[in-house]
Structure 1
Amino acid sequence: MISAEAVGWKVGGAQILEDVSLTVGAGELVGIIGPNGAGKSSFVNILSGVTRPSSGRISLRDKDVTQASATRRARMGLARSFQTSALFDGLTAGENVRLAVQAAGTASFSPFRGAGSSTTHVIDELLGRVRMPGRSRTLARDLSHGDRRKLELAMALASEPAVLLLDEPMAGVSAEDVDGLTEIIGEVRDAGVAVAMVEHHMHVVLGLADRVAVLHHGQLLAVGAPTEVTADERVQQAYLGEAL
């Protein structure tokens, strides 16, 4: 569903990513791990179109999108979340989702257009999907950090994406919310969406991922089944420490 072929990215004279190749298929979740500064978020930015690579090729649903904008890729079925929350804090949870639903629709987008009955049904369905039933009227600023992450997922799912990129979805989330978010992401994958997820919570990655990719100093150190990757001595030395 999405693939990177020999992707490289330079900033000035610094090589941030070098010769990174990775694919994610429909209904597959690939966990992307590595030390801080390994290039994980930079790689997600390139996959989503926020950043253009210096070399290599990005394909989305068998189409070359290397030069395509983030907006174009979103229209082709790609959605993503960011490390930091990106919500309209002065709007309710339902209003945030409404904007995402309207933006994903074929009609001309207007933030001032009210939600019709069909849109209201979709909003309620999306909030229910992320375990937030009855929270439609709660202001985004009043939500817990865990619920803010869930709301971001609901907004990303509003476009019914074929590919979902998640950049540290558990960052700052309390321990009691991690399991719920993990369950929701697993359900998205099981529904046939291709998911690439950057995450530092190893128990989340090992519990969810079909494959794990390890970035180190901007290069792909290893990729494979979770048990294979965690047993790799190079990965243990670079990131995991002692054998798990």
Structure 2
Amino acid sequence: MIIDFHTHVDEAEAFGWIDPPEKIVGLLDEAGIDKAVIMTYTDLPGTNPGALEYIVDAAAQFPDRLVPFVRLNPNYTAAMTELVERAVELGVRGVKLHPTTTLAHPAGDATVAVLRASAQAGLPVLFHCGDDPYTTPQTLGLAAQAVPECAIVFGHMGGYFHVRDAIDTALRLPNVYLETSAMPRPEMIRTAVGELGAHRVIFGSDGPGCNPRLELAKITSLGLPAADEQAILGGNAARLMEVSAA
């Protein structure tokens, strides 16, 4: 079972983002990927109050292929606990946070509250992790340290210039996992596996913006032991989301 931990489904015409669920499913088929985590581009509740219902409905159109995550803006503090609880009721299996778009500091009180609510609900949290403000591994590490009970996934495992920092942060903090999408140096995935263990690395593509087939090749071209490859390509994601890997 191959699970892509990071894809987008959204239809936000005002922003020029028209990526309905059938689009990502077509890309999964081309790449030979079984399932994908889907999330919106827009943050709930500010720019898109209907984002939760949209992503749940999108996943319901392909229930064997798509797993919904809810993308939240922690600055709406009064709504966060209720939104996390509602998301769980609707079958959402994780949370996405993008500090660049929300300007919510990862270790600020508002975000920490979301992390605690997510941990209590058994949901992993996928952060955008890269080179832009509020998203570097060092900053996200403050959040992971503040809420050690929360499984925190660094999307893009540090982006272009902070991959080594992402690995070092994960070495310090056992609740941090590294997700591989859009990171241009496949050899650093091998380094992460060697230093952290395959159980701390998760395959993602960031499709449709990035091609899932190309992102998958970054993993399969490394020649990793079969058990390690299977863990990265699906086992770890299934474990964090508590879904079947069969």
Task: Report the TM-score, using the length of structure 2 for normalisation.
Answer: 0.37
More strand by percentage:
1
Give the number of the structure with larger relative contact order, counting CA–CA contacts within 8 Å between residues 6 or more apart: 1
Task: Report the TM-score, using the length of structure 1 for normalisation.
Answer: 0.37
Structure with greater Cα Rg: 1
More helix by percentage:
2
